[in-house]
Structure 1
Amino acid sequence: MVETVAAKKDWWSAVSAYLTPRMLVILAMGFASGLPLLLTLSTLSYWLSKLGVDKTTIGLFALVGTPYTFKFLWSPIMDQVPLPVLTRLLGRRRSWLLVTQVLLAVAIFAMGQVDPRVDPWTTALIAVIVAFLSASQDIVIDAYRIEFLPKDEQGHGAAATQIGYRFGLLLAGAGAVGLSDFYSWSVVFGVLSAAMVASAVLTLLIPEPKGAMAHGKRDYAQWVKESVIAPFADFTSRTGWVVILLFVLFYKFGDALGGTMANPFYVEMGYTGLEIASISKVWGVWMTIVGAVIGGIAVARWGVFRALLIGGILQAVTNFAFAYVALRGAEYGLCAREALAADPNAVVSNLCAAYRHDLPALAIAITADNIAGGAAGAALIAYLSGLCNVAFTATQYALLTSFMAQGRTWLSSGSGWLADHTDWFTFWSLTAFLAVPGLLLLLWIMRLYPSGAVIQRNSST
């Protein structure tokens, strides 16, 4: 009985740690961080698909996420330079955060006022501005969290950030796609803009971290030398560093191509916004979390290399599940032709709906793909963490993840062209085979480091 009471007390202590005012602030900041991300990724591609924009153009829109890969270049400016008047009134962190959030609200609202069919360049420009401001907001939020929370609460703070981040993704993903079935896109973007305004109001109410004003102003050139050049020079001194970078770039290449075209695919298969929101955005997010847990267990049990190999194979194979969904869509076309041949007045949408709207097949494909992708992603994060020299951990990790993001932006921008020049079954099959180069590079790295060590660290650093 005593043990049961103690266990309940420990459980409540673990839960209550996330209900303190400090943690609720961090959770709200995580929400603000996650909200604009999907607007320049999957939600944007869904919007363009519904408007009838061609797939090649939709693929090129992946390039608007480029600012996320280079945010380390302007982070010292936001870290050091005060804003006139605002910094004196609000403090350095809150002043930068307020400005970026207000500008984000304006940019998100503006995105809903343009028609990509009429003015695609303006749409792209606004999307780049949203991505730039979103990446800038992330810089400030990360700094705020680290300075605001005591050292023994940093772990809880990281978890609270991820929870809030997922809620932001759900609103910008499932919420936006679901609302678009009932309201115009200008209204949808207006709702998202209002959510960002609410985040800006919260910024006015929260305290400035005490540590934010304690940092001295550093020389920018010296920062570049210490934070960019030295870590990169250290990394390039390692055995096989070119192969490692190529692996980081190509490990999720097939997944990146498929992810960019996922929403156009769903739209062409005839799924409604509500169906896509519930299966892909809500259910899919939870399956990714399940996959990440499985990936973490796999790394602990089997080691990072074996977890990477198994995860990489699974994330490639699961793309064939989408190829099956594409076959069901092709069967719809065959069914429609046969129905019209038999009866020119036949209602094709009713007679052949089972092929076009195979929800169980889509649910199975998304479940398998997200679990595999989450597991592979967790193993990749563990690998990237192990690559970093302890003397340059934060910077090398930021540089590696920025390099990895190139696959999600520049490399995946050709996915629309590929989808336009193939049928959907061929497209999804090719994305599975495009995972092979990354797996071959992984096998090469495993031969370079047969002992299982992720990377050899120079003892002098």
Structure 2
Amino acid sequence: MPSKPLSSWWESIQVYRHPKAISLFFLGFSAGLPLMLLFSSLSFWLREAEVSRATIGFFSWIGLAYSIKWIWSPLIDKLPLPLLKTWLGRRRSWLLVSQAGITLGLIGMALTDPAISLEQMAILAVVVAFCSATQDIVIDAYRIDAAEEKLQAALAATYMMGYRLAMIAAGAGALAIAGFAAGTSEGYVPQAWMTAYLCMAALMGMGIVTTLLIAEPATPTKPPALEQKAIDWMTSKSHLPDRIVKLAGWFYGTVICPFADFIGRHRWQAVLLLALISTYRISDIVLGIMANPFYVDLGFTKQEVAAVSKIYGVIMTLVGAGIGGLLTMRFGVMRMLFAGALLSALTNLLFAAMAHVGHDILWLTLVISIDNLSGGIATAAFIAWLSSLTNVNYSATQYALFSSMMLLFPKFLAGFSGVVVDSVGYSPFFIMTALLGVPVLLLIWLASKHLAYQSAHSGEDQ
């Protein structure tokens, strides 16, 4: 259940000083860095390499790795890595391996020219996406395991600050580095993008160092009720081969129990919650794939986009994440969830207006600033809400399911974004993405009614 709002502004602000909140900032940076390098910055790179808009749109399907990560999340939840577990523990060992995979994948992308080897670039991007999705599974589980519920909003906020700052570094920063490396050269310069992506690979070192410094969270010692059933079942089937009994019991406890636990707690209302999860960020995600191609087609240079994002984008992103976490702790999760969804839909209309305005730095500044502010508020509330839905015994698997659902349908639609823009133009496309957010508001209202009823009947405070 969402935790009770804190009683004072001062109490809310002080939570940000907690060491775990600080560590989540750096882990958030590590999680956010690959995202822009797979989508926004990569789409800019591909467009400069004269890859078609339709192909760029289909490239976004690489992000489906984030949408199906629940498939391998049970292994990460329960399976220890040999040798590394003894040194780092279960969560941190998976974290280190995934971060190493991202770093190596980014180096491979840096050394690949999409104008010559588009298929190789796609394969490497899939590798980075898989490792990045794995890292997300572990960080989310670590965040939920490491702190009690009252800290989750603060951890979500600092995580988002790091996450969004990394997105700026991998977005505006990568564009700025590529522009600087290209110098006075006109047109497409592959070496400039190689330099940018190598620098981004080096920044993954921040996440690796954090992983080595943080403490491994405690794990529950007593198996939950559903897993106890599996243990009892294995005991009663002693006449069967031992290997088969253990495999069946492990599968039930690792794969079936996380999903059975969620459905058991929410019954048929689980469908409502999953519908909200799968559509909450639909407006932003569908629009996001075409944002940089939109800037390119309006005539903005890498330097212009990078300058606006680096200054105003960074400021508004950090302000948005901080405000989002603060307001969530002060007024509660569901109210800010609604406010964030409304803001996300409305800000898309600014892109539609900008399509008519054309090349205008002031409009670019306005759009990026307000979009980043609303995104920070919405995401901080959303992460805190998702965390409140999980059972700590299955934190990795359940949160992976939730965050996968968040991306699956929007990413699928986003794959057709280039085709839609080619058919109707940018302005109608952006209006369509804003309208996609309207049903989300109804789902939030219905979900809040269900959770309030469930809380009242379980004796917990909303």
Normalised TM-score (structure 2): 0.73
2:329 aligned with 1:327: no
CA-CA distance at 1:142 after TM superposition: 4.5
* In 2: Cα distance, 1:317 partner to 1:109 partner: 38
Aligned to 2:255: 224
CA-CA distance at 1:418 after TM superposition: 0.8
Aligned to 2:103: 105
User: What residue identity is the alignment partner of 2:250?
Assistant: D
* In 2: Cα distance, 1:89 partner to 1:122 partner: 35
* In 1: Cα distance, 2:96 partner to 2:173 partner: 24
Evaluate the alpha carbon distance shift between residue 256 and residue 98 of structure 1 in structure 2; reply closer, same or farther with a 3 A threshold: closer
The one-character-per-residue Cα deviations of 1:91-127 (angstroms, maximum 9, x if unpaired) are 5444433332222211110011222233333222211
Map 1:401-440; keep pairs closer than 5 Å: 401-439=403-441
Aligned to 2:71: 73
Query: How many pairs does the alignment contain?
Result: 414
* In 1: Cα distance, 2:385 partner to 2:149 partner: 25
* In 2: Cα distance, 1:150 partner to 1:299 partner: 16
* In 2: Cα distance, 1:304 partner to 1:29 partner: 23
User: What residue identity is the alignment partner of 2:198?
Assistant: G
Work out whether residues 178 and 274 of structure 1, in 8 Å CA contact, stay in contact via their aligned partners in 2: yes
2:282 aligned with 1:275: no
Mark the structure with the bigger radius of gyration: 1
Work out whether residues 91 and 213 of structure 1, in 8 Å CA contact, stay in contact via their aligned partners in 2: no
User: What residue identity is the alignment partner of 1:98?
Assistant: L
* In 2: Cα distance, 1:320 partner to 1:222 partner: 47
CA-CA distance at 1:453 after TM superposition: 4.9
User: What residue identity is the alignment partner of 2:300?
Assistant: Y
Stretches of structure 2 lacking an aligned partner (at least 5 in a row): 1-9, 182-191, 224-245
The one-character-per-residue Cα deviations of 1:165-221 (angstroms, maximum 9, x if unpaired) are 344333222211211112211111111222224644665x53763847989998233
2:49 aligned with 1:51: yes
* In 1: Cα distance, 2:128 partner to 2:257 partner: 30
2:195 aligned with 1:187: yes
Work out whether residues 56 and 419 of structure 1, in 8 Å CA contact, stay in contact via their aligned partners in 2: no
The one-character-per-residue Cα deviations of 1:136-174 (angstroms, maximum 9, x if unpaired) are 223334455667789998887665544443443332222
Evaluate the alpha carbon distance shift between residue 44 and residue 455 of structure 1 in structure 2; reply closer, same or farther with a 3 A threshold: farther
Map 1:41-440; keep pairs closer than 5 Å: 41-143=39-141, 160-183=158-181, 184-197=192-205, 199-200=207-208, 203=211, 206=213, 209=216, 211=218, 219-238=250-269, 242=271, 245-280=274-309, 282-291=311-320, 311-329=340-358, 356=359, 358-377=360-379, 380=382, 398-439=400-441
* In 2: Cα distance, 1:298 partner to 1:93 partner: 30
* In 2: Cα distance, 1:29 partner to 1:306 partner: 27
User: What residue identity is the alignment partner of 1:367?
Assistant: S
Work out whether residues 23 and 214 of structure 2, in 8 Å CA contact, stay in contact via their aligned partners in 1: no
Evaluate the alpha carbon distance shift between residue 299 and residue 56 of structure 1 in structure 2; reply closer, same or farther with a 3 A threshold: same
CA-CA distance at 1:130 after TM superposition: 0.6
CA-CA distance at 1:278 after TM superposition: 3.1
Aligned to 2:187: none
* In 1: Cα distance, 2:342 partner to 2:146 partner: 41
* In 2: Cα distance, 1:327 partner to 1:129 partner: 39
Work out whether residues 320 and 432 of structure 1, in 8 Å CA contact, stay in contact via their aligned partners in 2: yes
1:114 match: secondary structure = coil
* In 2: Cα distance, 1:460 partner to 1:195 partner: 46
Evaluate the alpha carbon distance shift between residue 129 and residue 79 of structure 1 in structure 2; reply closer, same or farther with a 3 A threshold: same
User: What residue identity is the alignment partner of 1:429?
Assistant: I
Evaluate the alpha carbon distance shift between residue 213 and residue 381 of structure 1 in structure 2; reply closer, same or farther with a 3 A threshold: closer
2:51 match: secondary structure = coil
Of 274-283 and 175-184, deviating more is 274-283
Of 47-56 and 90-99, deviating more is 90-99
Work out whether residues 75 and 254 of structure 2, in 8 Å CA contact, stay in contact via their aligned partners in 1: no
User: What residue identity is the alignment partner of 2:95?
Assistant: L
Aligned to 1:6: none
Work out whether residues 102 and 197 of structure 1, in 8 Å CA contact, stay in contact via their aligned partners in 2: no
1:259 match: secondary structure = helix
Evaluate the alpha carbon distance shift between residue 328 and residue 27 of structure 1 in structure 2; reply closer, same or farther with a 3 A threshold: closer
Identical-pair percentage:
40
2:179 match: secondary structure = coil
User: What residue identity is the alignment partner of 2:130?
Assistant: F
The RMSD of aligned alpha carbons is 4.3
2:416 match: secondary structure = helix
Of 241-250 and 166-175, deviating more is 241-250
Stretches of structure 1 lacking an aligned partner (at least 5 in a row): 1-9, 330-355
Evaluate the alpha carbon distance shift between residue 387 and residue 134 of structure 1 in structure 2; reply closer, same or farther with a 3 A threshold: closer
Of 136-145 and 407-416, deviating more is 136-145
User: What residue identity is the alignment partner of 1:55?
Assistant: R
CA-CA distance at 1:283 after TM superposition: 2.4
* In 1: Cα distance, 2:380 partner to 2:150 partner: 24
Evaluate the alpha carbon distance shift between residue 108 and residue 214 of structure 1 in structure 2; reply closer, same or farther with a 3 A threshold: farther
Work out whether residues 161 and 318 of structure 2, in 8 Å CA contact, stay in contact via their aligned partners in 1: no
